[in-house]
Amino acid sequence: MKETASPRRFLAVVGLFLSLVLLLWGCGAVKPAVSPTAVHTDFDVIIVGGGLSGLSAGAHLASSGLKVLLCEQHDKVGGCATRFDREPFVFDSALHQMAGGGPGKKDRGLYQLLKVAGVDRKVELYELPHFYRSLFPGVDIRLPGDWDGFKKALKAKWPEESEGIEKFHRLCENTMNDIMEIKDLFRYTGFKKFTTMAMVPFRQPTFFKYMDKTLKDLMDDCFTDENLKAVVSQLWVYYGAPVPDQTALLTLAATEGFLADGVWHIKGTSQELSSAYAERIEELGGTVMTSTPVTKIHMVNGMATGIDTEDGSRYTARYIVANTDPYQLAYKLIGKEHFPEKYIRKLEGMKPANSLCGVYLGLNIDLRKRGYDDTEIFINPSTDTVAMYDAMMRGDFENGAVVVSIYSNFGDPVYAPPGKSLVTLTSYSKMDYWPEYGEAYDRVKGKMVDDLLAVASKAVPELADPNFIEHREGFTPRTLKRYTMNKGGVVYGFYMNPEQIEKIPNTTPFPNVFIASNWTQAWHGVGSAQINGWRAARLVLDREGRE
């Protein structure tokens, strides 16, 4: 256990995991150019980007009476959290499982936030019937989405590890409790911040102990059997770094979030949630403009004054919230010259996470009728997560991990009509591997689709038969970059090793510019994005002296 940690690191880490807890989980007229000294403002807050982080920020700010303008480059809001239709199938672009609580269950904050934003009554959350099935050579285990069921399944297979399984549960619970105790730290300043941070080693000991540890350290602390370690750390595939590199805190907090608070999905796809936020912003007098890329943020004397959009319009506001990656914010929208060198050096020294690739599939058979009950299956060629990760990075998808999500088993008829099924396959990838759009790209993409289908057919042999596949469509880091504008098509922000868990704060060097995105201290994922938005909104409201 480390005895000391710098206050800055502490603040950042606590900020990140506070949010993880919660995770667990009119168009303005064209304006004339503003003079640098203009005090006239059209909006209180402009939000650049309509992913879930930006939408959540917008709804919270509008709920507090601020006049919001949200600009989204795509023709619909949602960013990753969206849907697309391929008759007769409906695909959720991203969401498989959401942690963080829902109606009628323990709620560490996410559902409360939906209520505060007035979005809860516009969406229906439902619990998924299973957590995951994990397949390794010699191991095939299904894990329910509650602690009792989860522990029972593990103990039945590894009875000699019962004590370690209980210890893992205790550590997850304690980590979450610790985080809840310091959940408002990101808002503190001065003496209050200093004293809260100084007490963390004594008051939040589990959080403190695992702050600098890896997922491998955690597994070694709890278990001896390598297969058991592999099954419990399986969600490394969700969090974006192999087990020896990945921070232990993600698994500790997220597992408690899923198993104590439920494994959730959104009725009608994650687009319903995104659209509900947009609707709420407009209900409260705000403006949501789609097909509106923001090209510039104007700065005067270290303060943002407004934005330009691609169609040549200019809008002014007292605050800007960026739902973009920090590289776009610094290099394109604001301009590197406005930033302190230290901030840019930090950004350049940080390692972004990798992107994803995968396949959306519509099948002309009913998988449930054929005996498949699973919703989420992880297929692993071995327990060596570094080897799997490296294989995926070099495009050797057959030797990587593949997630098979059977959406038509979720319990929502939206995905596929009776007699048909909808499945997605997901794996990791990095932008460098992908040629520019063109023939070479199409060839590499076609091979990726074939490779993932070959791996997935180990769990669902029907996927090897092209006669059953009515629709197949691959996605790559280039696809994700096009729809989110995130550097490298990254969906998770920064690589989640212990050195980088602080990510970057929601604040920027500029007093009226905030970031709400996957790249900031509230972790990544559908739940966290909403927390990130709330945090950015909260910081604006604190500056405004509003509750």
305 binds ligand FAD (CB under 6 A): no
Least distance from ligand FAD to the Cβ atom of residue 53, Å: 3
- Pick the binder of ligand FAD from 18, 66, 90, 98 (CB under 6 A): 98
Q: The dihedral of CA 328, 28, 274, 319: what is its sign?
A: positive
SS (H, E, C) 219-287: HHHHCCCHHHHHHHCCCHHHHCCCCCCCEHHHHHHHHHHHHHHCCEEECCCHHHHHHHHHHHHHHCCCE
97 binds ligand FAD (CB under 6 A): yes
Which among 31-39, 280-288, 494-502, 518-526 is the span making contact with ligand FAD, rule CB under 6 A?
Answer: 518-526
Which among 37-45, 95-103, 180-188, 361-369 is the span making contact with ligand FAD, rule CB under 6 A?
Answer: 95-103
Cα–Cα distance, 447 to 433 (Å, whole number) = 13
Q: Which two tokens stand for residue 356?
A: 């994803």
Cα–Cα distance, 289 to 461 (Å, whole number) = 45
Cα–Cα distance, 264 to 97 (Å, whole number) = 6
476 binds ligand FAD (CB under 6 A): no
Q: In 3D, which of 449, 431, 501, 426 has the Cα closest to residue 248?
A: 501
Residue whose structure tokens are 């990075």 = 393
72 binds ligand FAD (CB under 6 A): yes
506 binds ligand FAD (CB under 6 A): no
- The C-alpha R_g of the chain, in whole angstroms, comes to 23
CB 460 within 8 A of CB 133: no
Residues 312-331 that bind ligand FAD (CB under 6 A): 323-324, 328
Q: How far, CA to CA in Å, does 148 sit from each of 107, 131, 151, 216, 382?
A: 18, 13, 5, 24, 27
Amino acid at 203: R
Which among 33-41, 162-170, 446-454, 524-532 is the span making contact with ligand FAD, rule CB under 6 A?
Answer: 524-532
13 binds ligand FAD (CB under 6 A): no
Cα–Cα distance, 30 to 138 (Å, whole number) = 64
306 binds ligand FAD (CB under 6 A): no
Return the number of the residue (408 or 484) whose C-beta is nearest ligand FAD: 484
β-strand partners of 362:
422, 471
Which among 122-130, 223-231, 240-248, 517-525 is the span making contact with ligand FAD, rule CB under 6 A?
Answer: 517-525
Return the number of the residue (204 or 246) whose C-beta is nearest ligand FAD: 246
Return the number of the residue (71 or 260) whose C-beta is nearest ligand FAD: 71
Return the number of the residue (293 or 509) whose C-beta is nearest ligand FAD: 293
- Pick the binder of ligand FAD from 379, 529, 537, 539 (CB under 6 A): 529
Least distance from ligand FAD to the Cβ atom of residue 520, Å: 8
512 binds ligand FAD (CB under 6 A): no
Least distance from ligand FAD to the Cβ atom of residue 332, Å: 8
Q: Which two tokens stand for residue 130?
A: 């299973």
Residues 181-210 that bind ligand FAD (CB under 6 A): none
Q: Chain-centre distance of CA 304, in angstroms?
A: 27
- Pick the binder of ligand FAD from 356, 359, 377, 531 (CB under 6 A): 356
Q: Chain-centre distance of CA 191, in angstroms?
A: 32
| Residues engaged in binding ligand FAD (CB under 6 A) | 48-54, 71-74, 79-81, 94-98, 293-294, 323-324, 328, 356, 358, 426, 480, 484-486, 491, 517-518, 524-527, 529
